[in-house]
Amino acid sequence: MQFNENFEVIVIGAGHAGCEAAAAAAKMGRQTALVTINLDLIAQMSCNPAVGGIAKGHIVREIDALGGMMGKVIDKAGIQFRVLNRSRGPAVQSPRAQADRGIYRTEMRKQLEAIPSLFLRQGEVVEILTEQGRVIGIEFMDGRKLSAKAIVIATGTFLNGTIHIGTRTFSAGRSGEIASILLSQSIAKLGFSMARLKTGTPPRLDARTIDFSQFEIQPGDDKPTPFSFQTKEINQKQLPCYIAYTSEKTHNIIKENISRSPLYSGQIQSIGPRYCPSIEDKIVKFADKDRHQLFLEPEGYETNEVYLNGFSTSLPLDVQEQAVRKIPGLELVAMIRPGYAIEYDMVDPTELTASLETKKIKGLFHAGQINGTTGYEEAACQGLIAGINAALMIEGRERLVLPRDLGYIGVLIDDLISRGVDEPYRMFTSRSEVRLLLRMDNADQRLTTLGRQIGLVTDQDFQNFQAKQDRISELKQAFNRVKATLGSEATNRFCEASKAKLNETTSLAKLAKRPEVTAEHLSLLLPANILDTLDPEELSVTVNDIKYAGYIEMMRVQTDRLAKAQERKIPNTFEYSSIPGLSREMVEKLSRVRPETIGQASRIPGVTSAALSIINLQLELRHRSV
């Protein structure tokens, strides 16, 4: 076959998954093409102009620790930074930032174009080219063909996308952009099991027509917390958000017109994200509530566009306008563009291995919403892992598979490939069995060395990481050495601030284990020579490590014990139909998912303990006979 250009890795789609995938493969030295329908919309924030949030912020920290892009870019583009759940335990605290959408796109493209092995190409991909069960390239609508040894599909909502606004429906990948219909047909022809999912977005409002005095102001943190471990401080101007509420009149308008909603008329058949329902869903399903909280979020420094977070809808345009204008403060508001729902094709993620490579086609990887997930962060981490593994495959190296106890990225991928999805998947801290191990502040301790081994963490970044770990080690030694002496001025200040009661001279390490004592409290007891060079984040990591050391050790013991029982590999050629004692249902499920380990098999819905015991016994017998 004649090709116009030759690459090692091709990434289809330049959203958050595609950008991470292309950057990772190219930084690892592979000649990589990032192809997209419109190069002007690289890293477009299609929905909420924000990065992070509960568990999502953890993922961004993990992406950064591995050498990914998202953390560094949002630190440049953020216009409001907040740490959520600050009053709760460190396992559930998570950073979030509003972004200037234009700056985010510009900064991401700038960083991508600085990678020598990465090449941007524009065009609509219409076919995945394969030969003897492996990828060999892609074909554009205009006839160009590019060759590749590995391909990452990261197409977001573009696969056969259909937008709904009331009874109006039209083909689109996002509002104003064409859908990838022929590419979806090409994927289906390869034999993949496909389904439809739905997501939605709220109307965007003109800030000049909003009475902001009617709303509660929501400022960011006084001292913004960066996402990237390499960002020392956030210096750009910060903008406030505002808290609003729906009214009874808003609810009445929506109830009166609920039959005109595609969700309730039967026009939309697919399933949307349960945790982020549309406003019409909220009003129907939570009929006892007389109001729902909304957030007015600016989309950037140089735009009047405001995102009405919490008001996702596919109601007709006239109903949207009426309902929004019944919200106090929005009586005279003008809509820049209406909200809409979008349905799109996805591929069953149980068709993937833990490396995100498809089981049917060698060298083909899927990342992002094609796997049934939603959210920029979930997409970005999949793109990172897919890009890494595409490069490792070409190099003939062992694929990267993150275990569940090493990061939320590992939890997400294992959930997808083991359980599949029946609604768009979103990460929560509760999905991890060991969330005390997976704090936002220790992502670099867990993953940076691994990122270095892969080849994504630079010399300078790794030197910074090592120096930080040395400082934390020294600080832990100081905590064992420094004492809170009864009656001293420093101890009195500490006791007053923390409300702790001391009966004897006590080391800072022992004080750190007390639940009421925080890092800020303990800083009152540190000598001046330590305080002068103290980094607040490093102090926080030190205190959290000490405070939860006992719980963490118990978790590690439990995790190790579980891993030994579940890490046994299942060969890809394992014939479940030949195993006596397995029901037809078990054979069908296991043959379809093809779990790589006993642990993964245990997480397939419906697979029984009895079936696992039978499989484990068969594997043990085969091992002994070798």
Given this model, what pLDDT does residue 626 score?
60
Given this model, what pLDDT does residue 103 score?
98
Higher pLDDT, 571 or 18: 18
Closest CA to 56 of 429, 402, 420, 354: 429
Q: List the beta strands (DSSP E) in 150-270.
A: 150-153, 162-165, 168-171, 194-201, 204-206, 216-218, 241-245
CATH 3.40.50.880 fits 7-200+344-454, yes or no: no
Tell me how many degrees the CA angle 409-410-414 measures, rounded to the nearest 5: 120
Closest CA to 183 of 149, 160, 213: 160
Rounded mean pLDDT of the chain?
A: 93
Fold for the domain defined by 568-625: DNA polymerase; domain 1 (1.10.150)
Q: Residue 306 corresponds to which tokens in the numbers above?
A: 């405001």
Bridge partners (DSSP) of residue 204 are: 307, 337
pLDDT (mean) for 100-126: 98
Least confident span in 61-65, 480-484, 583-587: 583-587
Distance of alpha carbon 488 from alpha carbon 502, whole angstroms: 12
513-518 contact pairs (CB < 8 A, 24+) = 513/546, 513/547, 513/549, 513/550, 515/547, 518/543
Task: List strands edge to edge, sheet with 305-309.
Answer: 216-218, 241-245, 293-298, 305-309, 204-206, 335-337
pLDDT (mean) for 209-228: 96
Q: Is the pTM of this model over 0.85?
A: yes
Tokens 């590419």 belong to residue: 183
Give the C-alpha distances (Å, rounded to integers) separating 471 from 223, 478, 494, 525, 542. Answer: 22, 10, 23, 18, 10
Q: Residue 591 corresponds to which tokens in the numbers above?
A: 């043959």
Pairing of strands 5-6, 145-147: parallel
Number of residues in the chain: 626
Q: Is residue 271 classed exposed, middle or buried when 0-12, 13-18 and 19+ CB atoms within 10 A define those classes?
A: middle
pLDDT (mean) for 91-114: 96
- What DSSP letter does each residue of 391-447 carry, written as one string? HHHHHTPPPP---TTT-HHHHHHHHHHHH--SS-B---GGG-TTGGGS-GGGHHHHH
Distance of alpha carbon 540 from alpha carbon 155, whole angstroms: 39
- 136: CB partners within 8 A, 6+ apart: 1, 129, 130, 147, 148
Report CA dihedral (125, 126, 132, 136) to the nearest 10 degrees.
-20
Least confident span in 186-200, 311-325, 494-508, 569-583: 569-583
State yes or no: pLDDT of 563 exceeds 70.
no
Coil/strand/helix, residue 281: helix
Convert the pLDDT of each residue in 66-85 to its tens digit.
999 999 999 999 999 999 99
State yes or no: pLDDT of 443 exceeds 70.
yes
Distance of alpha carbon 76 from alpha carbon 571, whole angstroms: 46
Q: Residue 31 corresponds to which tokens in the numbers above?
A: 């000649």
pLDDT (mean) for 549-572: 76
pLDDT (mean) for 554-560: 71
Count, in order, helices (H) and strands (E) of the chain.
Answer: 22, 24
- 334: CB partners within 8 A, 6+ apart: 205, 206, 208, 209
**405, 507 contact by CB (below 8 A):** no
Q: Quote the distance between the C-alpha of residue 425 and its chain's center.
A: 10
**210, 306 contact by CB (below 8 A):** yes
Distance of alpha carbon 64 from alpha carbon 352, whole angstroms: 24
Bridge partners (DSSP) of residue 201 are: 340
In this prediction, residue 580 has a pLDDT band, given cuts at 50, 70 and 90, of confident
Measured between alpha carbons, how far apart are the two ends of the chain, in Å?
44
pLDDT (mean) for 103-111: 98
State yes or no: pLDDT of 87 exceeds 90.
no
Convert the pLDDT of each residue in 234-267 to its tens digit.
999 999 999 999 999 999 999 999 999 988 888 9
pLDDT (mean) for 390-398: 97
In this prediction, residue 611 has a pLDDT band, given cuts at 50, 70 and 90, of confident
Q: Is residue 266 classed exposed, middle or buried when 0-12, 13-18 and 19+ CB atoms within 10 A define those classes?
A: exposed
Distance of alpha carbon 288 from alpha carbon 282, whole angstroms: 10
State yes or no: pLDDT of 280 exceeds 70.
yes
Residue 622 CB neighbour total at 10 angstroms = 11
Closest CA to 70 of 220, 305, 231, 199: 231
Tokens 């972004």 belong to residue: 99
Residue 527 CB neighbour total at 10 angstroms = 11
Q: Residue 421 corresponds to which tokens in the numbers above?
A: 């999805």
Convert the pLDDT of each residue in 589-602 to its tens digit.
898 888 988 888 88
Distance of alpha carbon 477 from alpha carbon 479, whole angstroms: 5
pLDDT (mean) for 105-132: 98
Closest CA to 390 of 18, 1, 130, 36: 18
Q: Residue 351 corresponds to which tokens in the numbers above?
A: 């068709």
Given this model, what pLDDT does residue 610 score?
65
The CATH code of the domain at 204-339 is 2.40.30.260
Taking each helix axis from N to C end, the angle separating 584-593 and 609-625, rounded to the nearest 10 degrees, works out to 70
Q: Quote the distance between the C-alpha of residue 619 and its chain's center.
A: 35
pLDDT (mean) for 497-507: 90
Higher pLDDT, 142 or 618: 142
Given this model, what pLDDT does residue 534 score?
84
Given this model, what pLDDT does residue 609 score?
61
Coil/strand/helix, residue 90: coil
Convert the pLDDT of each residue in 528-543 to its tens digit.
888 888 888 899 999 9
Q: Is residue 258 classed exposed, middle or buried when 0-12, 13-18 and 19+ CB atoms within 10 A define those classes?
A: middle
Highest mean pLDDT among 325-339, 420-434, 473-487: 325-339
User: Where exactly are the structural domains of the chain?
Assistant: 7-200+344-454, 204-339, 475-552, 568-625
Q: What sign has the CA pseudo-torsion 111, 117, 121, 124?
A: negative
State yes or no: pLDDT of 312 exceeds 80.
yes
State yes or no: pLDDT of 565 exceeds 70.
no
Fold for the domain defined by 475-552: Arc Repressor Mutant, subunit A (1.10.10)
